[in-house]
Structure 1
Amino acid sequence: MSKSSIPDSISQSKYISALGLDVGSKRIGVAGCDRTGLIATGLTTIERTRFEEDVEQLRELINQREVSVLVVGLPYNMDGSLGFQAKHVQKFANRIAKILQLPIEYIDERLTSYQAEQMLISENRSPSRNKGLIDRKAAALILQQWLDARRVNK
């Protein structure tokens, strides 16, 4: 089959490998997607220590998964403005993207941690005992939102 006979939606991208990040001061929730870019799944939670160690843990995941883009949740204020925490996340994410030489895209992450907590509660799990899981689920929600928007905008 020649390339010209492949539908545009397929030929534009063979597969996608994105990493979704829910960046917090104590932990970073990390999510990845299947190669088709349809489903985001929580992968791990990085317990933050030193910046250099955080970068190395992300680098390992990026190399393993052949990641081509970072999708970072930006915690806007409820009025849509960028507050202290959002600016802090941007600074961290921009440093990471520069060091790892990857493009970065931001997604409005308002209420993703709340949604993740509600998912745990519906599974009869304690949010206070599963902070890392909440971070992973929030990262998956962030990445899923980006994947869905990407499909709609094609």
Structure 2
Amino acid sequence: MISALGLDFGRKRIGLAACDQLGLIAFGLKTLIHRSFAEDAQAIGYICQQREVKQLVVGLPLMMNGEIGTQARHVQRWGERLGQVLNLPVVFVDERLTSYQAEEMLRQRGYGRHSQRQRSTSQPTVDSQAAAIILQQWLDQQRSGVTAKCYAS
């Protein structure tokens, strides 16, 4: 049984995704409005507790050339701090183009681009869908036995 939580951290919102018990399929869970680290950690910790999460999978916004830039370093620090507070291991997954993929998936399902950010956080958003794509990439790597590239801070 795999119990992982995917996170797409942004300056305004944090997309969350979960997976089925077999670790085959990731799905968008919800989107949190970013407030403070303490409030975010508390909300994420509650979800982790409810879902018995054992692994955090955080999207790392690498630059298009694959280098770690300022935003990626910020996400690494945030993810490592979150892992320490929640006492959970953290793995970072390349998230380049996941927001674009998420927008396309939602558009195909009939959700308009501009209405996504304004809806209730329980409906699909680009953020939670991007978190699901990030988590799905990691799940697929786990099943295939391919070791994902690790990104150190």
Q: Spell out, residue by residue over 1:39-87, the C-alpha distance to the aligned partner (whole angstroms, 9 max, x if none).
A: 0010010101111110000010000000000000001000000111111
Structure 1's unaligned 5+ residue stretches are 1-14
The yes-or-no answer on 1:44 pairing with 2:30 is: yes
In structure 2, the partner of 1:142 is 134
Relative to the length of structure 2, the TM-score reads: 0.89
In 2, Cα distance between equivalents of 1:111 and 1:83: 15
Q: Spell out, residue by residue over 1:90-121, the C-alpha distance to the aligned partner (whole angstroms, 9 max, x if none).
A: 11111100111100011100000000011122
In 2, Cα distance between equivalents of 1:119 and 1:67: 26
In structure 2, the partner of 1:6 is none
CA deviation after TM superposition for structure 1 residue 124, in Å:
2.7
CA deviation after TM superposition for structure 1 residue 122, in Å:
1.6
SS of aligned partner of 2:114 = helix
The yes-or-no answer on 1:82 pairing with 2:68 is: yes
In 2, Cα distance between equivalents of 1:144 and 1:64: 20
What amino acid sits opposite 1:50 in the alignment? S
Q: Which stretches of structure 1, 4 residues or more, deviate above 4 A after TM superposition? A: none
SS of aligned partner of 1:121 = helix
In 2, Cα distance between equivalents of 1:98 and 1:123: 37
SS of aligned partner of 2:96 = coil
Aligned length: 140
Whichever structure has more helix as a proportion of its residues is 1
Q: Which deviates the most, 125-134 or 49-58? A: 125-134
In structure 2, the partner of 1:18 is 4
Structure 2's unaligned 5+ residue stretches are 147-153
In 2, Cα distance between equivalents of 1:113 and 1:128: 14
In structure 1, the partner of 2:150 is none
Relative to the length of structure 1, the TM-score reads: 0.88
Larger Cα Rg: Structure 1 or Structure 2? 1
Report the identity percentage.
51
